Amino acid sequence: MFGISAAVPGLEAGIDYRIIGEHWSSLIIAGKNSRCFWFAFKKMDQKYSLPNIPRFKEEDQDAFVKLWRKRSINGQVTFGDIWGRKITSVLLPLEEGQYEHWALDRFACLGDSIHKMTPNA
């Protein structure tokens, strides 16, 4: 899930807050112009392939956020504080991709060229 919220008291502009747990992580960026940009990642229950990749509705966001509301961002702000000032948000599966073969003839792929860039990396 990712979104934008109005400025949240207790988050300092220009600072990004990264919280990492087992099978979940979040990235919150307190930006300029009274905006807070945020991402919340949770490992899905299984791997999905086309055509069975899930589609989420707006009401699915409330169930997802229940897991996050009480999580502390910096000791004084919770994710619930950020959610309470939400302007917009989207819940979707984050696609992953990784090549099985990293080299062909004289060409070799290294680092970020071998997999998609993920926002939580």
- For residue 121, pLDDT over 60 is answered with no
Over the stretch 58-86, which tens digit does the pLDDT of each residue have? 889 988 988 888 989 998 999 999 999 99
Q: Output the CA–CA distances (angstroms, integers) from residue 8 to 35, 62, 79, 106, in the order listed.
A: 8, 20, 10, 51
Q: Where are the domains of the chain?
A: 2-94
Pairing of strands 2-6, 35-42: antiparallel
Sequence letter at residue 53 = I
Instruction: Locate all alpha helices (DSSP H) within 21-102, ordered by sequence.
Output: 58-66, 79-83
Higher-pLDDT residue of 50 and 36 is 36
Q: How far apart are CA 13 and CA 118, in angstroms?
A: 23
How many residues comprise the chain?
121
The pLDDT, as a whole number, for residue 37 is 95
Decide: helix, strand or coil at residue 39: strand
Q: Is a pLDDT exceeding 70 seen at residue 36? A: yes
Given the structure tokens 């979104």, which residue do they identify? 3
Q: Give the pLDDT of residue 21.
A: 84
